[in-house]
Amino acid sequence: MMRMKGAVLLLFYVNFEEVFMKFFKAIAKPFTVFNPDRSALYAFVLGAASVLGFAPFNISPAMLATLMGLFFLWQKAETSFEAMRIGLWFGLGMFGLGTSWLFSSMYFYSGMNIVSSALATFIFVLFLSLYLLVAGLIVSKLKQSNPDRKWVDLAIMMPLVWVLMEWIRGSWFTGFPFLLAGNTHLDTWLDGYAPVFGVLGVSWAIATSAGLFVLLLKSRLWLPISAAFACVWLLGAGLKQITWVHPEGKPVKVALLQGNIPQDKKWLASEFMPSMKVYVEQTKQNMDADVIVWPETAIPAYYDLVQEGVLKSFIRDAQLLEKDILLGVIARTNDHEKYYNALVNARDSQEFYYKKHLVPFSEYFPFANFFKALSLLFNIPFSEFSEGDVVNKPMKLGGQMAGVTICYEIAFGDEMAKTVAKTRYLITVSNDAWFAHTFEPAQQVQDVQMRALELGREIARSTNTGYTMIVGVDGLIKAKIPAYKAGVLKGDVQPYVGETFFAKWKLLPIQLLMGVGLMFVLGARFYKSRKKAVSAE
């Protein structure tokens, strides 16, 4: 009897262990995507190396070369899971290094400890990397099984999937259009696509070039592939020759202030008056300018308080002299329920521009409910900024209509395009002291250059610590002053009229390109499946 009970117990244990192991493997399988094989490690290195294409490195071929590597790995992937893992690890390398400045902002300036800063940064990087995981899944499902049709994968499908994911990443969940491949090829033949298709069009040209290059290395059809590669680049060069907009009216004389107030001192009560003294003195010395621009949140206090307090006489003088002085302030509603990162013209203190797109982990926290649940474990401060309603609001400054944006919003070209026809030039302000001595300030310079090129408007940019500059409609920097030094950039901003193709049609052309291209890919797969079915009959 005892032996029988023992046998039953042993059998139960064996069955339970087998069932448990199957259950555990089923639960754990999705997480094995984090277990890197050789291809995943290659993808991680390639992703990290792609950051060399962006500022401050500006090695344009790096983006082209790393996309070649990614497409080659995707082409070799035998399963959907492998392709997904390759995409994920490429993203971890790219965003882990490329957005490492988020950690700096949280740890040094947001009051978070090192563990919670690292955790929040990793979660955000992982979230961004999931877009490339999905890209890997799509690539694996659309790949052609016929070796003679590999050109469809490399020259059409993979480049379009890459651009599709950039578009989705820049649009969904409030959008994060940083580290877009197109920014790496400013001042090259390929930036001719920007006024037509926007930055995503430049990304498409880079990705298509990468796919064609891989195809060139794997195929003997050198002549047609080389011709296609040349066409992509020559078309970009040809588009650069088109004049989309033209100057109208006399230049606007601007004075762009750079106070260089350290972020760790900016919000201290003891530093408020010294900071105001810096900006007021810079303003008084440049009253001959048509427009004077203070940086983002240059006044670290509620505007309704300083308007009737320490800056009352300054604002009154600006109104008496009818001088356009654009102030970076914090505004709040009358009931004090909402707070905004804002701009206001001291000449007319009733007209505000409220920042719409807030910076993650410095002005708001993504996954807020999740972080609030962990707030007892991690000392995470929460910002209370609210979102505005529109990007690139037109304001009359210096006798001309200017579109104004704050910081991170300069990355949203399609939203800025909605109002650009009403403007003659653009002004953007920023406080990159949050990310001092990291990649972010230089990366944002590329965004400013790309917007000028896309929208056909000169841009004046005032920042707290740099880079303060003026950018021409060709995307090139006309004038700038050194970063991390107090100073004033005085210069002329030329008003322009007319619209680029992108400013008029926004994302529609690139969306049509993606739609037609992906329909062609699906058609090729359907044709192959249909042909197999007919052969079987």
Domain segments of the chain as ranges: 29-242+510-536, 248-361+379-505
Summary mean pLDDT of the chain: 86
Q: What is the mean pLDDT of residues 76-80?
A: 91
* Dist CA 302 CA 344 (whole Å): 12
Q: Which of 67-71, 138-142, 340-344, 419-423 has the highest mean pLDDT?
A: 67-71
| pLDDT score, position 6 | 53
Give CA–CA dist 505/508, Å, rounded: 6
Catalytic residue among 355, 356, 478, 480: 355
- Does the pLDDT of residue 533 top 60, yes or no? no
State whether CATH 1.10.10.60 applies to domain 248-361+379-505: no
d(Cα 240, Cα 112) in Å, to the nearest integer? Answer: 46
pLDDT at 523 over 50: yes
In the predicted model, what is the mean pLDDT of residues 374-381?
45
What is the per-residue pLDDT for 381?
Answer: 40
Q: What is the mean pLDDT of residues 299-307?
A: 87
Q: What per-residue confidence (pLDDT) applies to 292?
A: 96
Q: What is the pLDDT of residue 304?
A: 86
pLDDT of 529 reads: 56
Catalytic residue among 82, 407, 454, 499: 407
pLDDT above 70: percentage of residues in the chain: 86
pLDDT at residue 383 greater than cutoff 80: no
Q: What is the DSSP letter of 430?
A: E
Residue 377 — very low, low, confident or very high, per pLDDT cuts 50/70/90?
very low
- The answer, yes or no, to whether residue 480 has pLDDT greater than 90, is yes
Q: How confident is the model at residue 27 (pLDDT cuts 50, 70, 90)?
A: very low
Span 138-183, pLDDT tens digits: 999 988 766 667 888 899 999 999 999 999 999 887 789 999 999 9
Lowest mean pLDDT among 173-182, 365-374, 397-406: 365-374
355 catalytic residue (yes or no): yes
Cα separation, 260 vs 275, whole angstroms? 9
- What's the DSSP call for residue 423? -
Q: Cα torsion at 67, 68, 70, 71 (round to 10°)? A: 110
pLDDT of residue 527 exceeding 70:
no
> What digits encode the pLDDT tens for the residues 185-223?
999 999 999 999 999 999 999 999 999 999 988 877 889
Q: Among 312-326, 350-364, 419-433, whose mean pLDDT is lowest?
A: 350-364
Identify the residue with better confidence: 120 or 26.
120
pTM above 0.85, yes or no: yes
Residue of 82, 143, 150, 296 marked catalytic: 296
DSSP readout, 297-342? TSS-SBHHHHHTTTTHHHHHHHHHTT-EEEEEEEEE-TTS--EEEE
* pLDDT given for residue 264 in this prediction: 81
In the structure, how many helices (H) and strands (E) does the chain have? 20, 14
Q: For the sheet containing 425-430, what is the strand order?
A: 393-397, 400-406, 425-430, 459-463, 469-471, 477-480
What are the φ/ψ torsions at residue 486 (nearest 5 degrees)?
A: -70, 140
DSSP assignment, residue 115?
H
Which pLDDT score, from 0 to 100, does residue 396 have? 93
231 is catalytic: no
**How high is the pLDDT of residue 372?**
54
- Please check the confidence at residue 526 and state whether its pLDDT lies above 50: yes
What would the DSSP string read from start to end of 254-305?
Answer: EEEEE----HHHHT-GGGHHHHHHHHHHHHHTTTTSSEEE--TTSS-SBHHH
Residue with the bigger pLDDT between 313 and 27: it is 313
Is 415 assigned a catalytic role? Answer: no
Checking if the pLDDT of 51 tops 50, the result is: yes
